[in-house]
Amino acid sequence: MDRRNRPALRQALRTRLDQMQGQVARWLGHLPDSVHHQLAEHLRHQTPFATLDPSLSTLLALRQWRRTAALPEDLMARIEQGRVQLRTEMRHILHRPTPVGQVQNLQLPGPQPLALRRYVPSGGSTSPLPLLVFLHGGSFSSGDLDTHDELCRLLCQLGQLQVVAVDYRLAPEHPFPAAVEDAFAAYAYCHAQARNWGADPQRVAVGGDSAGGNLAAVLAAEYADRNDAPCAQLLIYPAIEFYRQTFSKQHYGQGLFFSLPDYEQAYRLYNPTDRHDPRHPWLCPSYARHHRLAPALVVTAELDLLRDEGEQYAAQMRDGGTAVTLHRAAGMVHGFANMTPINRRAYQAVAQTAVDFRLLLDGLPHARR
């Protein structure tokens, strides 16, 4: 074989292996719990988390059983490898995207151009729909429009609302406060464009998962007194307080899909050498104002190291007079909103979130009927 063809062959084999792993993950997601228990026993995988969803336990067992490549020594190489891995996994676990009425790629005009993706549901509604500005997760250093495309499609179609996803700048190339500034700029643009898009300008909301939940919470607090304040906020397992020690960090910080060292590295990349005060309200929403913010739907995962800080933030907002609905997804882990193609309970949790958020929006005093 010509040596010049070897890299292409290796890449083709790697792609095929990724595709096969995605197919296996989808197949496992349809098996009954009893089969997962048998697989775990066969793989000699004993999880200390008795309430973990059985199919997720199987995925963890396979991940530990499968030999993984050594991480590069160079930090940026490791970060880029993580970004590629996330994009690859999301692409291959999805058999077919959830259909929506329209998908439009846009660009935020101005000195700092940002890619946006707008989703419009099918359904034939003649009245203006609510608009959700969505900020993706990924530890502030990964994730993009493609990694969260399926989640945005589900929120759009099942919630019957328009969604605009924001491709904000990532750390460490663009540390804090770049992502916050991008979130502000994108939200202001979407709010100004809502009427042109056929959306209801009185029902423009903000939301996000994980790191994106942090950005959404920051924006909701910062915009609270403005005329264009978000009408509601959707916070899916949000990152709220980097230094606070909690029960969930102690008990779910190892042995799952997202670890405490992962979380700590995310903070170091986002705010290197504590360049900014860790209590800055744009870094940790727990130090922002909580008085009468936009109504919030907060969704946490039972076995997630971020669970307690998300639920404590919900309590903070409620104590400040904010209307808050809190849901904890049983048996779920951090990142479950991206696992809908391979886990039926994750799909059910996201579907319920989409419906509940639309009900929240329809219950606002100024909601159009």
Distances (CA, A) of 164 to 117, 147, 151: 5, 14, 12
**Which residues have CB under 8 Å from 53's CB, separation 6+?**
331, 332, 333, 343, 345, 346
The catalytic position among 144, 200, 304, 308 is 304
Whether 334 is a known active-site residue: answer yes
Strand blocks (E) in 52-113 = 102-108
> What order of strands is seen across the sheet that includes strand 114-120?
102-108, 114-120, 162-167, 129-135, 199-209, 233-236, 296-303, 324-333
| DSSP per position, 155-215 | HHHHHT-EEEEEE---TTTS-TTHHHHHHHHHHHHHHHHTTTTTEEEEEEEEEEETHHHHH
Residue 65, phi-psi category: left (phi > 0), alpha (psi -120 to 50), beta (remainder): alpha
Q: Is 174 a catalytic residue?
A: no
**Can you give the C-alpha Rg of the chain in angstroms?**
20
Structure tokens at 229: 């304040």
- Report d(CA 252, CA 248) in Å as an integer: 5
Please identify which of the residues 142, 210, 248, 286 carries the catalytic annotation.
210
State the Cα–Cα distance between residues 12 and 29, nearest whole angstrom.
26
- How far separated are the first and last CA of the chain, in Å rounded? 68
Annotated active-site residue in 92, 148, 191, 334: 334
286 is catalytic: no
Which residues are catalytically annotated?
Answer: 210, 304, 334
